[in-house]
Amino acid sequence: MSAAEHHVDGRTLRHQHRRPELLAAAVEYILEHGVCELSLRPMAKEIGVTHATLLRHFGTREELITEVAEYIRADVFAERVEQAEVVVSLAQSLRTVWKRLCDPKERRQFALLFELVALETRDPGRFANLTSLVISDFLEPLEAAFRNHGLSRREARDVATAYLALVRGLQLDLALTGDRPRVDAAMHRYIDDVTRTSV
């Protein structure tokens, strides 16, 4: 959905209990526009609030961006918990996750991730907890999944790290080339190999 479809009337956001609605609008705006040239004034105008309102609720630009990243991470984990109720093989689960991540709406999250990583490498410490948000928080459940599949603790950590790197690398490839069949084939080959050899 576009930011316009998520437009929020500022009059409904005057009270603190409306903050979740404001954050959701901010998330959609940032996913659509990115962060490299993000300015809070145009953002506030588009989502229907004042610049002062954004500052009052979220503090600095960097604090808002960090909170948006946390919101996205929490949303991903919520979906994972819901999907965990369906018992499937590890290979099927990994394929399902990959297919979802290749949806155009989901791919915006990777565009944001690549922007944040680029900015953080140029200015370390700019965004609080970025390493946790994009690596550690995802590594632990992946390790657990591979351990449940029969890998040792060390093997599970290595495979989970490689899987995360492959996801991000192939998403970068997809963003630049649009070659979905090729990146799908690479991911499916990895999933087949790792799930077959780790039983």
For the entire predicted model, the pTM comes to 0.74
**For residue 5, what pLDDT is reported?**
47
Same domain, 123 and 96: yes
Q: What is the domain range of residue 167? A: 72-197
Answer yes or no: do 43 and 91 share one domain. Answer: no
Summarised one tens digit per residue, pLDDT across range 75-132 is 765 555 445 444 468 898 899 989 989 999 889 988 888 888 888 888 887 777 777 7
Domain identity same for 104 and 170: yes
Is residue 134 included in any domain, yes or no? yes
Same domain, 33 and 80: no
Identify whether the C-beta of residue 43 lies closer than 8 Å to the C-beta of residue 50: no
Residues 39 and 129 in one domain: no
Closest-CA residue to 91 (of 190, 198, 195): 195
The answer to whether residues 68 and 30 touch, using CB atoms and an 8 Å cutoff, is yes
Q: Indicate whether 64 belongs to any domain.
A: no
Q: Does residue 67 sit within a domain?
A: no
What local confidence, expressed as pLDDT, does residue 119 receive? 85
Number of structural domains found in the chain: 2
Of the residues 59, 88, 107, the one at which a domain ends: 59
Question: What is the rounded distance in angstroms from the CA atom of residue 51 to the CA atom of residue 26?
Answer: 12
Residues 36 and 98 in one domain: no
* 99, 173: one domain: yes
Q: Do 176 and 141 have their domain in common? A: yes
Instruction: Please give the structure tokens belonging to residue 4.
Output: 């316009």
Last residue of a domain, one of 11, 28, 59: 59
Work out the angle between the directed axes of helices 19-33 and 104-122 (0-180°, nearest 10). 80
For the segment 31-87, what is each residue's pLDDT rounded down to a tens digit?
A: 999 888 888 999 999 998 988 988 888 888 888 988 888 888 777 655 554 454 444
For 86, which DSSP code? Answer: S
Residue 126 lies in a domain: yes
At 192 the pLDDT is 93
